[in-house]
């Protein structure tokens, strides 16, 4: 069975490129998707973005059912609030990379405590 990585993006990341460029840079989400596909075999990536919590939970379930080989997830603002997302990720059996474009630990304290990190294999923050 081919290895497939699910790359999931949370709320407001569809505005990348225009959104607070001093924090998130000018790269658009479409360009990020291209970079992911260029880094892997194009059909090895499932790339999604939503502004809805339930949709993100549904996509985690989809990754579980698809027996995905791994997940890269930027939960964005849901990182700090979503127990439903945390509960869904607890059921995902393969490696999970929690990703933040910005260094959340250098920002406003509301961005300091991730509910997701306890179930993440690793966390990347601040590398753009």
Question: Would you count residue 69 as binding ligand DHK (CB under 6 A)?
Answer: no
Question: Would you count residue 114 as binding ligand DHK (CB under 6 A)?
Answer: no
Please calculate the CA angle 123-47-115 and round it to the nearest 5 degrees. 30
CB of 79 closer than 8 Å to CB of 12: no
Q: Which one among 12, 27, 51, 117 touches ligand DHK, defined by CB under 6 A?
A: 12
DSSP tag of 14: G
Is 24 an annotated catalytic residue? yes
Choices 31-39, 62-70, 73-81, 116-124 (CB under 6 A): range interacting with ligand DHK: 73-81
Query: Backbone phi, then psi, for 34, in 5-degree steps?
Result: -60, -40
Is 61 an annotated catalytic residue? no
CA separation for the pair 8, 46 (Å, rounded): 8
**What DSSP line would sit under 62-93, residue for residue?**
HHHHTT-SEEEEE-GGGGGT-HHHHHHHHT--
Q: Which one among 4, 68, 73, 104 touches ligand DHK, defined by CB under 6 A?
A: 104
Per-residue contact flags (x/-) with ligand DHK for residues 18 to 57, judged by CB under 6 A? ----------------------------------------
Nearer to ligand DHK, 23 or 39 (CB): 23
Active site members: 24, 100
């Amino acid at each position: 069975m081919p290895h497939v990585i699910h790359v999931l993006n949370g709320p407001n990341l569809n505005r990348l490129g225009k959104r607070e460029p001093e924090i998130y840079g000018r790269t658009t989400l479409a360009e990020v998707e291209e970079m992911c596909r260029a880094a892997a075999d194009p059909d090895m990536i499932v790339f999604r973005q939503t502004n809805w919590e339930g949709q993100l939970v549904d996509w985690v379930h989809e990754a579980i059912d698809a027996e995905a080989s791994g997940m890269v997830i930027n939960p964005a603002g849901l990182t700090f609030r979503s127990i439903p997302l945390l509960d869904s990720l607890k059921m995902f059996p393969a490696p999970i990379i929690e990703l933040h474009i910005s260094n959340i630990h250098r920002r406003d304290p509301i961005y300091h405590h991730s509910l997701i990190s306890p179930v993440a294999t690793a966390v990347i923050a601040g590398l753009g």
